[in-house]
Chain A
Amino acid sequence: MNEQQKPGSHTETIHLPAPTAWPIVLAFGSTLLFAGLVTSPWISVLGGILMVCGAVGWFRLVLPHEVHEDIPVVVEHIPIETTRREVERIVIPEGDRAHLPVETYPIISGIKGGLAGGVAMIPPALLYGLIAQHSIWYPVNLLGGAGVANWRNPTTADIAAFHWQGLLVANVIHWTACVLVGLLYGAMLPMLPRRPILLGGVIAPVLWTGMLHSVMGVVNPVLDEHIAWGWFLISQVCFGVVAGVVVARQERIRTTQSLPFLMRMGIETPGLVQEHKEDDRK
């Protein structure tokens, strides 16, 4: 069991370098050489002499042959064993962790989902404008308000009126944001362990609405006063569910994750690439 006790493979003595005082002499000499700079030149001279002695002594040790001493070997049987014989392996259930997806959605599916979600957001937003403020332009101007020049603390009536700059800016912001979030969904959904629609469609919008709700009071208190958070949440969930469903219905494509690392790096090394078994050992 212990390969160190192979018969015939040991000798009775082992050559080891012999103890020597020359290194300490040389080291002490070097230190004195430097110490002379802050004390007295004579210390440096002494250090130099010691260094020469040390160096000569050291050279004579290794030239022409290194000096050895023979150490007698006491061969003992060293048992290498453990009381913990049992080996347990950690079993990782498939799908127990988020992992880099082997399959993912094509990029176009994210864009599609984002656009579809963007369309789905519009009805609840406009509905809110109609019901609460009797104007479909109210939510548009809330989003695109930055585009309307010279707005300083607008009145509610102001916001409810039609402004073409507001519509333009609102559209740009709306569709850019929708496409970006859609792309994010396309990348993320395959990595969510289960129920991607629930997670991505409902829980994520609720989370970011909550986050916006908590920070908007600090970031832009004026805007915060005008937002009806219940309606906001409804339109966000609409977006999430529609975008999630659209993305999830697309066909998946294989990612490079299933290839070995070296091939992904573009290194062609036939023979070097071998399957490494991934396992946790205890």
Chain B
Amino acid sequence: MNAIPLVATSPEQEWHLPYKGRIGMYGLIIAESAIFTIFVIAYIYYIGKSLYGPTPQQVLDVPIVNTICLLSSSITIFLSERAIERNNLKTFGLWWAATIALGAIFLIGTGIEWHKLIYHDGLTISTNLFGTTFYSLVGLHATHVVVGLIMLTIVLLFTLTGHVKHEHSERVQVLALYWHFVDAVWVVVFTVVYIVGR
């Protein structure tokens, strides 16, 4: 947003406005942040308010591997952004695929965690207040990861068929912005669910 000219320019000067896709993505991120804020507030408010178990202390394990995977995918996607800016399409594809793999590992990890919670600990969304808030907050984030992965995969398919070129780098960066957002939200969700709430 820092590209908005705030100082008066004379019409003869070059007229440059920010890329609209980036602005649109910022708008989406603002809206999504508000949604997550409401869910996070609900989670924090309801910490310890469950009338019966299981409680987070009993059943939650800190998903270290998952978190490392998801957060490092932010680095790989940054590397691929830089690659396409330098018109290095092969490197771009490699890092892009690595990002998808890391995201997929995260999803699988979440799936394993949920499987254990449901079948081993007997915690479902309707068990108690903890179940309700946990599955909706983590599930909301996981939904965003799924959507992000679908978009990333489409770009990967286009890359493999050779349709992605240097001139698409701005669009690719907009998508990467979304992925960074998903990662940043995980930091908040992780802190609230696995550190504050446990």
Contacts and interface: CB of A to CB of B under 8 A. Distances in A.
Interface in A53-97: 59, 63-64
B167 to A, nearest CB: 9
Nearest to B154: A59
Interface of A is mostly: loop
A63 B157 CA distance: 13
Contacts of A64: 158, 163, 168
Contacts of B168: 64
Contacts of A59: 154
Interface string B148-174: 000000100010000100001000000
A64 B171 CA distance: 11
Interface string A33-67: 00000000000000000000000000100011000
B117 to A, nearest CB: 25
A219 B49 CA distance: 52
Nearest to A64: B163
Interface string B1-35: 00000000000000000000000000000000000
Interface in B132-160: 154, 158
B14 to A, nearest CB: 17
A63 B163 CA distance: 9
A63 B161 CA distance: 13
Nearest to B150: A55
Contacts of A63: 158, 163
A63 B171 CA distance: 11
A155 to B, nearest CB: 65
A145 B168 CA distance: 86
B15 to A, nearest CB: 14
Interface in B51-86: none
B50 to A, nearest CB: 27
Which 6 residue pairs across A and B have the least CB separation, nearest first?
A: A64-B163, A63-B158, A64-B168, A63-B163, A59-B154, A64-B158
6 contacts: A59-B154, A63-B158, A63-B163, A64-B158, A64-B163, A64-B168
